[in-house]
Amino acid sequence: MRWILIWSAGFVLLNLGLGLIALLSGVQTTSAHWSTASRAPLGIAPDPRNERQAIIQVYAARAFSWRGYFGVHSWISIKAPEAAHFTTYEVTGWRVRHGGKAVSSSRRAPDSRWFGAEPRLIAEFRGQEAEAAIPKLLEAIRHYRHDDEYTVWPGPNSNTFIAHLGRVAPELRLDLPPTAVGKDFLQTGLWAKAPSGTGYQLSFLGLLGVLIAWEEGIEVNLLGLTYGVDIKDLSIKLPMVGRIELSPLRSPGA
């Protein structure tokens, strides 16, 4: 019993420290009202009018308000060959709370700010292979199992949705950030491919699990928080703080 109490206290203190580091390192959140928060694009996505080939992009940005200290919101944008616009697909909780479906589609710019938070491009796929992946992605979007439900923690949420699409299209080699709370909430069962398709994971309701994959590295999920080591990219992964590159040393990522 004593060791359980010591471990629990250490776990709490560790995460309080990580939260303080995230706060001091300048994690982007916004205190503005959602209706006035910026949704302007950053200008890093290609202009679909000038790109004839198929393009798939996945972005993540810190969640709105206080939730941004804990995690990110992620989405996928798809442009079919010859299309003059991207279509962005994402999951949001307020749609479910108002009687709608969790998954929405829109023509908002792929790189638009998420209510003030700047997005980071985490996966991109172009050309014929992207064109071949689009039909199965659209099929998976249409038949998303959790389209009638949303839970911020431990899922299903926006990151659960994007992780599922990564498993459907492993050619994306999707490596979601450790701050993508909900990515380990599996649609069915306790065992699945990693979102990158380069390994496997074991997860109990997104609360407890382990992931081993070439792209993601080794991750341990405790109460929905991700701790890990990415040997391929020489980085460590921490909740709230994100990814810390060890070579070269860079500021914490999403």
- How do residues 102-153 score in pLDDT, each as one tens digit? 999 999 999 999 999 999 999 999 999 999 999 999 999 999 999 999 999 9
- Residues of the chain with confidence (pLDDT) below 70: 2, 4-32, 34, 248-253
Q: Is-contact 111 42, C-beta < 8 A?
A: yes
- Chain position carrying tokens 């994306």: 172
Omega cis (within 30) before 178: no
**Domain chopping of the chain, boundaries:** 30-245
Q: Do 110 and 59 form a contact (C-beta atoms < 8 A)?
A: yes
Return the pLDDT at 38: 87
Residue 13 contacts by C-beta under 8 Å, 6 or more apart in sequence? Answer: none
CA 62 to chain centroid: 10
Specify the pLDDT at position 251. Answer: 47
Q: Is the Cα torsion angle 116, 84, 56, 45 positive or negative in sign?
A: negative
Tell me the three state secondary structure of residue 199. strand
pLDDT of amino acid 17: 59
Contact indicator for 109, 85 with CB cutoff of 8 Å: no
Phi, psi (rounded to 5 degrees) for 80? -75, 160
Q: Which two tokens stand for residue 27?
A: 């994690």
Residue 193 to residue 71: CA distance in whole angstroms: 22
- CA angle 154-163-246, nearest 5°? 90
